[in-house]
Chain A
Amino acid sequence: MAVPPEAAEQAAESHESAASAPKPHVKRDQVVIRFAGDSGDGMQLTGMQFTSESALAGNDIATLPDYPAEIRAPQGTLAGVSGFQLNFSSNEVFTPGDEPNVLVAMNPAALRTNIGDLQPNAVIIVDREAFNESNIKRAGYTSNPLTDHSLDKFQLIEVDVSKLTSLAVHGLGLNNRAAFRCRNMFVLGMLSWLFQRPIDNTITSLKSRFKKTPELIEANIRVLTAGYNYGETTEMFASSYEVPAARIAPGLYRNITGNSATALGFVAAAVKAGRPLFLGSYPITPASDILHDLAGYKNFPIYTFQAEDEIAGVCSAIGAAFGGAIAITTTSGPGMNLKGEAIGLAMKVELPMVITDVQRAGPSTGMPTKPEQADLLQAMYGRHGEAPVPIIAASTPADCFDCAYEAVRIAVKYMTPVILLTDGQLANGAEPWLLPDPDKLAPIKVEFATNPEGFLPYARDAETLSRPWAVPGTKGLEHRIGGLSGENLTGNVSHSPANNELMVRTRARKVAGIAREIPPTGVFGDASGDLVVLGWGSTYGPIREAVKRVRANGKKVSHVHLRYLNPLPGDLSETLKRFKQVMVAEMNMGQLLKLVRAEYLIDAFGFNKIQGRPFKVSEIENRINQVLEG
């Protein structure tokens, strides 16, 4: 489309005329924004960049990306809608928010997919030009929602995003397609103005992102600025909003996703252990970012091996563990299935390693980009024979750091594989992270066996029952290990029935003994009462917020959230039994529920959701109220 140069200048510079009369700021405590568009519209980037701006502005935040499994589903279709939700607040934030108060919809499909989630009277910002006949039809609308009054209960703001974008980049020689792809920056600029976020940081990040294509730096900055100025100038926004900084603990913060935090937790553990880190992995959604991150930290030193399949991923890690590395593998549900046999081997030969399962909605291929918590029983029991493995679960994106670190610490101390459970929501969700002081992290002691005198590969530490880590290259300690039943102390092949039982029971006692060092179970709320909501993993946020709300109404409800799932904390039984009722909220059909019922003979009941979506706070809150009303 040919654009007169005057119009371009107008779009880019119109702020100057309006700058003299700034609009008022309206204070808000909390805002939930959802960006939605085609999966090629750059909504994830827009959302993440707005998140950074908000974090830098001092808000507490939580995010939830929601994108389709298809990389680029046909344009304009419901299947191709990609979303990114951000909750930013001047108070403590536990979840990405139930119902957005602002929706950015880049096309009719994005509007249609997300409209049902909005708060009444929410602000909807649309790219008017994207609501053309063919897009409207492709989204399954029979009439144009912008004109048929179906949006009357919302505050609809129609902006000619596409046109203003092309005006802003006029003269840069960009083709239509490249220009169109800058639309997301217009929206980002506009929202940055609307919520009074400085855009300097975004400009810096655009410069580094498009380092190799300077023309795109210029284009994106122009569009971003044009969007910002448009917000100030246009009469559609009567005011801008201000969400003041939250009061959070002092210190140095950065914004972090669960996958990045997991990767950093492993790096920190390897550094503290004084050993190289080895990751053997096969790409799988939503775990691959851990591989990507670690591949960039080679100088630590870190080995990342993209294996030929999931099995080779875990097996290469076992080989590295045999050689004395801090060995890890990363995967999601389908890969966990494939790794089962190898995890059993690592458990039996007693080599330390961490298997990270970034859970996604199953069964089978399921919904690869959506979270679920249905791999718990697989982690517990998904191996043949008696093959107990410690399990740790992270509860927030930043908690992934601590859990990854703790998983390595336990693996090395007890010479055992450890399973770390996270999920797709934690993996891609982000929150501010108070940076830990590396000097204050718990020590991770690695002591290889070196003394050949009386060396026995399966002699055990009296307290931990851990065996020595005797790595190849150590003179006089040559020995053979393997999956066949092994004789006590020597590990030599043995088919003695009594010896087999002794070894099975010894390994089980070793894992059970880890309970000794699990800290006392924390209870949010009173130590006893009418109801305790028990959870693990990413349900932390919605459970905590729901329990806070019902407690504010005087209800005797508490929250217990587990990090250690195998072994369970030694005081869990008595902790739960102090409540009249125990409700286990999980994104599965009741897996932790089965475990606590079986372990403690508690008549707990479940509250479950298996939709590939996290609980809403309101869902848990309503359920708690129903339960209390009997």
Chain B
Amino acid sequence: MATVLNRKDFVSDQEVRWCPGCGDYAILAAVQKTMPEFGIAPENTVFISGIGCSSRFPYYMNTYGFHTIHGRAPAIATGLKISRPDLDVWVVTGDGDGLSIGGNHLIHTLRRNVDIKILLFNNRIYGLTKGQYSPTSEVGKITKSTPSGSIDYPFNPITVALGTHGTFVARSIDIEQKHLGEMLKRAHAHRGTSFIEILQNCSIFNDGAFNDVSDKALKADHQLVLEHGKPLIFGKNRDMGIRMNGMRPEAVQLGATVTEKDLVVHDETNLSLAFMLGHFEAPLPTPVGVFYAVSQPTYDGAVNQQLVDAKAKNGAGDLRELLSRGDSWTVN
């Protein structure tokens, strides 16, 4: 039956051309390593991207691939998935491609719950156009286009996705290979739009953008790994936790007075909790993992069901009958 797939089945013959030290290498490695586990042949897998550094991704995957135009990958993927529900469709996008020029397509794809997997590489900068601020750049950021500091308030990809009632919303980090692999597996197993924000370093234009959560020395104290059904605990010594103080979350030291029982227990099906976690900012830790995952009928599934229903009700389309429908008359 199915032959066992391995990493090489997903590696194309094209030379990878990202900058040395780019976080995209790590993401590509994680994807190529994880894909064989899905047991889906490369010919049934399609990677679709827009424009930007991240969007070169399909060239390096030995699957079907389509490097399209800026921001439009979710729309192209939607058309493909609706008409070819048999395919495993992935979208690779970035913070500029997905949240700025293509923001409309991203939110509507999530809203519809089309069964595609969206990987949004967030490096909080425009890389391919050589270093302008992006819709996720922090206020005050000095870039080529903002010499006096950016005055735009940034988007938070997680809360944007949650705001559309996206059915699977997660975050991971480029160099966290194990965690990223786990998130890819969860995303793939989910039926509906899966959205993963992948925090990604740009070694040229925004180096160290996520140092606090990716640097080995710092990350334990700044990363909060979300696990369904488990209390929110973090810290080098696993002695910090998140507790509710009235309606507000706070970081607390575990000890004699505060125990695990006092902490918030993560529930992936709780949208309010997901929003709260999505809004975490320093001094609270940065959550990674699955914020929200619920099961809901997919758009492509419903569309194809309507076709099946129409055929069951009216029979297969009959062109001759259709053409002569309505009032017709014969001229002799």
Contacts and interface: CB of A to CB of B under 8 A. Distances in A.
A201 B328 CA distance: 11
Contacts, number: 209
A319 B328 contact: no
A31 interface: no
Contacts of A345: 68-69
A253 B332 CA distance: 11
B228 to A, nearest CB: 32
B237 interface: no
B331 A312 contact: no
Contacts of B239: none
Interface size class of B (residues with CB under 8 A): 35 or more
B323 A300 contact: no
A203 interface: no
A297 B80 contact: no
Most buried by B among A55, A299, A302, A305: A299
A9 interface: no
Interface residues of A, number: 69
B319 A323 contact: no
Given A250-B332, A252-B330, A299 B79 contact: no
B207 interface: no
Contacts of B310: 298-299, 301
Given A435-B323, A493-B59, A299 B12 contact: no
A271 B319 contact: yes
Nearest to A470: B64
Most buried by B among A249, A318, A476: A318
A369 interface: no
A315 B331 contact: no
A175 B129 CA distance: 66
Nearest to A329: B79
Interface stretch (A35-43, A85-93, A479-487): A479-487
B144 interface: no
A320 B82 contact: yes
By secondary structure, the A interface counts as: mixed
Interface string B298-332: 00000100110011011111011011111111111
Interface stretch (B70-78, B146-154, B186-194): B70-78
Most buried by A among B59, B105, B311, B317: B317
B66 interface: yes
Contact of B328 (A280, A435, A473): A435
Contact of B59 (A254, A264, A280, A482): A482
A482 B70 CA distance: 12
Contacts of B59: 480, 482, 492-493
A535 interface: no
B65 interface: yes
Given A308-B108, A480-B67, 8 more contacts: A248-B331, A264-B322, A268-B319, A299-B307, A299-B313, A322-B76, A479-B64, A481-B66
Interface of A: 52, 55-56, 58, 201, 205, 248-255, 264, 267-268, 271, 276, 278, 280, 297-303, 305, 307-309, 311-312, 315-325, 327, 341-342, 345, 349, 435-436, 438, 471-484, 492-493
